[in-house]
Structure 1
Amino acid sequence: MTGTGNSVKPKERTKAKQRYLRRKKERRKNKPKTGAKSANADAESGDEDEHSGPEENVEDIHPAKDLPIENGDEVKEKRPKKRRKVVEEESKDVEMMVAEDVEHGDSVMESQQPARVLTPQAALPSFPLPALPHAPSKSVLAMQGLDQALVDAEIVDPETMLPIPDGEGDGGTMLSEKMRKRLKDLGITELFAVQTRLLPFLLPQDPFKRALYQPYDPPRDICVSAPTGSGKTLAYVLPIIEILSSRIITRLRALIVLPTRDLVTQVRETFEALGKGRGLQIGTATGQQSFSHEQSQLVADRSSNLKGGSSKVDVLICTPGRLMDHLHGTPNFSLQHLRFLVIDEADRLLAQSFQDWLIQVLAATRPPPKAASDQASYSPMAKSSLSFPDAVAPAFLHTLPYPVIPTFPTETRESSCQKLLFSATLTRDPGKIAALELRNAKYFVIQESKKEGVLDVVMEKFSMPSTLTEHMIVCESSQKPLMFFHLVHAHKVTNALVFTKSAESTTRLVRLFDFFEKARARHAMAGSVQQIVVHAYSSDLPAGERKTILEKFRAQEIQILVCSDLISRGIDISHVSHVVSYDVPVDMRKYVHRVGRTARAGRAGDAWTLVEEQEARYFKGILRDADHLEKVKRIRVGEKELSPLVPFYETALGQLKEAYTR
């Protein structure tokens, strides 16, 4: 169609569109016509065909030859760039027109294929969505890999008490009359829960079970988990004194390993007080004295080679590092006669290697394997290498240079050493328990009977003394010293132990408190304010000075002792009524041992923890994991309560700054 004048020239159809229109016309001619609907369809197709142009044979169309003529010249066949553009336009047009036909219900292949009847297909089977399996509970995971003896532990109610009777009967304590009288003289009238259960176990009525040597039927080992201040020290001191009192020759028969020197001193005082008049020799090895001096105190003969060893002490109380020094460097220092091996604060000692002290100590208590060549090399005429007769333990008889005729040929001799482990937070690591080489171990757990049994110990749900009251104060970092001063004066926190994270923090807090007290005393009227005495106690101080400070604190000449975690384990100071964690403990075990310095032996006590705002979430998480958060009461302190102390605090801060900038 053409026009003249202002008429608009229609868009020229491409070859592809022309072919498509011809095919569409042929399809509609071949379709059966029914009524008016077919007539309307033909009319529409007729209108569309007015512009279809002359007919062409589809088979004669060649994509390269049948290109449009421009300006009367034929387009060359080989024009790849323009050809690519044209093909792209044609393909777009075809796609657009096919989409239009689909909307009108027309199908391109309708004329070529017969009509098909679609049948509904069956639905695909449905499968459940993947889901994670049910995870085991914490209790199940905690029990995996544990020693069966720990699972079958005996639970002892902490409220159990046993009075010490007067007269001839022991009243179930299994203690001799002499020991009962000694306890009465010291003011001890009843036994605590851990003592009431352990004494009958360690002091059986059978005299053969109390023997110093039991090579064919050695005693069972013991592991005890009990809260701090429950009397664990007395639970092993009493049986050791009772059994070793029957000894005739002095041999090293009891070894007590402790983590700190101060605890060694405390346990020695307990042995000396309870063993008075028994003739037992008590020795210590902590490194506070020279090595040669300790050797002279422990070993009687260092010049001869004695297979049975030599000893001046019946009981040795030591730290693991110094023990290793004597085991390797002191001649005739032998552990073959040991009847008791006590590991107090076992969780801490097992976590620290100290030159693999545990492996070496256990090896020294076991008899060496008997070599086949020992008997073959014996000659009746051979001279002994010993200068004089030597006594060895029954389990070590095969080490002598002459044959020993066995009493029971079918049985082997074993070490008579009985291992006793004590801790408020006893280890639950199966690997560490296996390293102890426990022999038919018996576990005792001191906790409330209403709890879930040994599972609480395994999952580290620690038990606290019932007389302990716990508090928590959340404050800003800059206000923590001021909050501590408020505790001291508002809540009468004296006779207190204050724990910091390091020796440096201990020294700084003590100096700041001294400046604060002096500023407060100057402001008040003369004599109206009694200054509180505070002193530092840390590992930076020499041993002699630490001992003096501890004695003054026991005598209440010092009201507050600021210390690191050096004395958080085992130290028993009866008048301590408050424990303040100035710095948050790193874990629940540290917290347990800190607060355990008060509320001991049935006495009341308070524990305070100062928590910085950025530490609150972490500290609460520690308590929550141990199911202990609800027992710690949070106390809020407002600005109104702190304002009277602010002027003295600012003065003390200025003086501390001057002291450190000099």
Structure 2
Amino acid sequence: MTNRTHLELPEAFAALGLDNAILLALAEIHFREPSEIQKRLIPVALRGVDVIGQARTGTGKTAAFGLPILQRMDPGQAFQALVVVPTRELAVQVEAELLRFARHTALRLQVVYGGQKVTHDLKLLERQPHLVVGTPGRIIDLNERGALPLHNMKFVVCDEVDRMFDIGFRDDVRKILTACAAPHQTILVSATINDDIERLVAKHTIHPERIFTSTNQETLTNPEAIQYFVGVQPWDKQRALHLLLKQENPKLAIIFCRTKRSVDKVAGSLSAHGINASPIHGDLLQAKRERVMRGFRTGKINVLVATDLASRGIDVHEITHIINYDVPEEAEVYVHRVGRTARMGATGRAFTFVSPGQAQLQTEIEKLINHLLEDYKISGFVPSPEPGRGHGFDKHRSSAGSVSPVDPQDADAHSAARAAPSAASAADTTVYSPTSFAAPSLESKPRPLSGRFPTRRRR
């Protein structure tokens, strides 16, 4: 048990206007210095005004909006605060963080999300929590059943608004905000702000204060994350990935794939070559997803292969590497992916595989983050010929834009998204050992490409 008499309350947080109950909790969990978004958002939120906050992922946004709300809530009134998040993983993470902050208050918190029986959530809400964290669909369902009243909410937070819009929750978010009919404080937090979000702001906030810690004049990604691109043909990506992991030897890494089928295929291949990798995507049962995440947090699994949706809410500070096996089709998605590493002052490395025909996607990413990706060469990697076409590149297909960027086995993305997890994804894995690992070898030695990989013209 913590000896409170010897705890020094964090003066930097006290200067923001937080009271002793909150400060004591912060001292116990070793919060000393607020991040930039915390320094700027907490005093404003304590005044009760609406707030629009833009900050990079991994900068302490949960504490930024959570601490002032916990301080201002009335322990005598149930159902007065709502936090809306895009995924179940993020819902669990946010509630766990808020519980740490609220440990010396009389407040009750509850998390609700899809993927479990609604009767389970109905039972939990009988406890009359003061604050509820949840995903949009489950919040609407519980509200329509009369179990989660929204009309008297005093505090409403929408976290990662851009991601909720990206994955199809635009109408649900609007419906929830409309249902919160009583006068309340609205806090919208997003890594990026686009026209859709501006329309939401115009309709559902009143003279909001805008707090931007990431602007067009600086990079949207953490400067502590060193970012690279790797020029590679679609058929060479798996072999390049094996060599990259051998070369980098990450402590904890997340590999992002576009489809569930790719996730299973990549995770299975890595496991077969002695890398302790596990897949995570929406087709996995919730219990399985939770087991995978526990293994990743404890280091029993050191490579996580994920879709974008499944990765939301992964709040693990020790992630050292992000690998975009499939380059994201939207630049904003890149920001969220890379935000998983170099969190709260740590360093990290991010790699994006770019194939011919994907130069424009890379350019859009670089424009958004205001930063050029560095060209990275994998030691010992020699490009192989296109399957069935002999050595080297066909002169009519060697220019950027002429080769499909999609793995031929993943051409039908819709079918891939519906595919069940493969047997390989369930394979037992062993701890990755660089000395015992051997990347797949080529059957014949191809003519190597000369010079820089032709992804695009550099500025």
Which TM-score band (shorter chain)? 0.7 to 0.9
Take 1:470 and 1:350, find their aligned partners in 2: how far apart are those partners? 26
Take 1:351 and 1:485, find their aligned partners in 2: how far apart are those partners? 31
Please report the TM-score for the alignment, with normalisation by the length of structure 1.
Answer: 0.55
CA contact (8 A) 2:255 2:306 kept: yes
Q: Out of 636, 645, 654, which is 2:377 matched to? A: 636
Query: Is it true that 1:294 corresponds to 2:110 in the alignment?
Result: no
Take 1:593 and 1:575, find their aligned partners in 2: how far apart are those partners? 16
Query: Is it true that 1:583 corresponds to 2:412 in the alignment?
Result: no
- 1:31-55 Cα distance to aligned partner (Å, 9 max, x none): xxxxxxxxxxxxxxxxxxxxxxxxx
Moved more, 184-193 or 256-265: 184-193
The residue type equivalent to 1:634 in the other structure is D
Query: Is it true that 1:319 corresponds to 2:135 in the alignment?
Result: yes
Alpha-carbon distance, 1:475 to partner: 1.4
Alpha-carbon distance, 1:634 to partner: 0.2
Alpha-carbon distance, 1:613 to partner: 2.6
Q: Hey, what does 1:226 align to over in structure 2?
A: 55
Q: Secondary structure in 1 aligned to 2:82? A: strand
Q: Hey, what does 1:444 align to over in structure 2?
A: 211
Q: More relative contact order in 1 or in 2 (CA 8 Å, sep 6+)?
A: 2
Alpha-carbon distance, 1:350 to partner: 3.8
The residue type equivalent to 1:228 in the other structure is T
Any stretches of 5+ residues in structure 1 without a counterpart? 1-163, 205-218, 301-311, 367-414, 448-453, 518-531, 653-662
CA RMSD of aligned residues (A): 2.9
Take 2:151 and 2:369, find their aligned partners in 1: how far apart are those partners? 45
Take 1:169 and 1:467, find their aligned partners in 2: how far apart are those partners? 23
Q: Hey, what does 2:39 align to over in structure 1?
A: 196
Q: Out of 221, 226, 229, which is 1:472 matched to? A: 229
Any stretches of 5+ residues in structure 2 without a counterpart? 1-6, 385-434, 444-459
Take 2:170 and 2:369, find their aligned partners in 1: how far apart are those partners? 36
Alpha-carbon distance, 1:171 to partner: 4.4
Take 1:189 and 1:337, find their aligned partners in 2: how far apart are those partners? 35
- 1:405-457 Cα distance to aligned partner (Å, 9 max, x none): xxxxxxxxxx331110001112334762356421111111003xxxxxx6x28
CA contact (8 A) 2:281 2:309 kept: yes
Take 1:193 and 1:292, find their aligned partners in 2: how far apart are those partners? 41
Q: Hey, what does 2:66 align to over in structure 1?
A: 237
Q: Hey, what does 2:75 align to over in structure 1?
A: 247
Distance 1:649 1:445, change over 3 A: same
Q: Secondary structure in 2 aligned to 1:613? A: coil
Q: Hey, what does 1:330 align to over in structure 2?
A: 146
CA contact (8 A) 2:277 2:303 kept: yes
The residue type equivalent to 2:176 in the other structure is V
Query: Is it true that 1:649 corresponds to 2:440 in the alignment?
Result: yes
Q: Hey, what does 2:346 align to over in structure 1?
A: 603
Q: How many residues align?
A: 387
The residue type equivalent to 2:32 in the other structure is T
CA contact (8 A) 2:21 2:104 kept: no
**Overall identity of the aligned pairs, in %:** 26
Take 1:443 and 1:580, find their aligned partners in 2: how far apart are those partners? 32
User: Radius of gyration: which is bigger?
Assistant: 1
Q: Hey, what does 1:507 align to over in structure 2?
A: 264
Q: Secondary structure in 2 aligned to 1:592? A: helix
The residue type equivalent to 2:191 in the other structure is A
Distance 1:352 1:360, change over 3 A: same
Take 1:261 and 1:646, find their aligned partners in 2: how far apart are those partners? 35
Alpha-carbon distance, 1:351 to partner: 5.0
Alpha-carbon distance, 1:638 to partner: 6.2
Q: Out of 177, 187, 197, which is 2:30 matched to? A: 187
Alpha-carbon distance, 1:571 to partner: 2.3
Take 1:327 and 1:336, find their aligned partners in 2: how far apart are those partners? 10
Distance 1:645 1:505, change over 3 A: farther
The residue type equivalent to 1:233 in the other structure is T
Query: Is it true that 1:432 corresponds to 2:199 in the alignment?
Result: yes
Q: Secondary structure in 1 aligned to 2:195? A: coil
CA contact (8 A) 1:168 1:177 kept: no
CA contact (8 A) 2:228 2:374 kept: yes
CA contact (8 A) 1:502 1:564 kept: yes
Listed as ranges, the matches of 1:2-401 within 5 Å are 166=9, 171-204=14-47, 219-244=48-73, 246-248=74-76, 250-299=77-126, 312-330=128-146, 333-351=148-166, 354=169, 356-366=171-181
Take 2:144 and 2:369, find their aligned partners in 1: how far apart are those partners? 46
Q: Out of 463, 470, 493, which is 2:250 matched to? A: 493
Q: Out of 609, 620, 633, which is 2:362 matched to? A: 620
Distance 1:251 1:580, change over 3 A: same
Distance 1:197 1:641, change over 3 A: same
Q: Hey, what does 1:377 align to over in structure 2?
A: none
Take 1:169 and 1:595, find their aligned partners in 2: how far apart are those partners? 29
The residue type equivalent to 2:99 in the other structure is E
Q: Hey, what does 1:12 align to over in structure 2?
A: none
Take 1:353 and 1:534, find their aligned partners in 2: how far apart are those partners? 29
Distance 1:553 1:627, change over 3 A: closer
Alpha-carbon distance, 1:570 to partner: 4.1
Distance 1:181 1:587, change over 3 A: same
Q: Secondary structure in 1 aligned to 2:294? A: helix
Q: Secondary structure in 2 aligned to 1:197? A: helix
CA contact (8 A) 2:254 2:323 kept: yes
Alpha-carbon distance, 1:512 to partner: 1.4
Q: Secondary structure in 2 aligned to 1:626? A: helix
Distance 1:355 1:584, change over 3 A: closer
CA contact (8 A) 1:488 1:494 kept: no
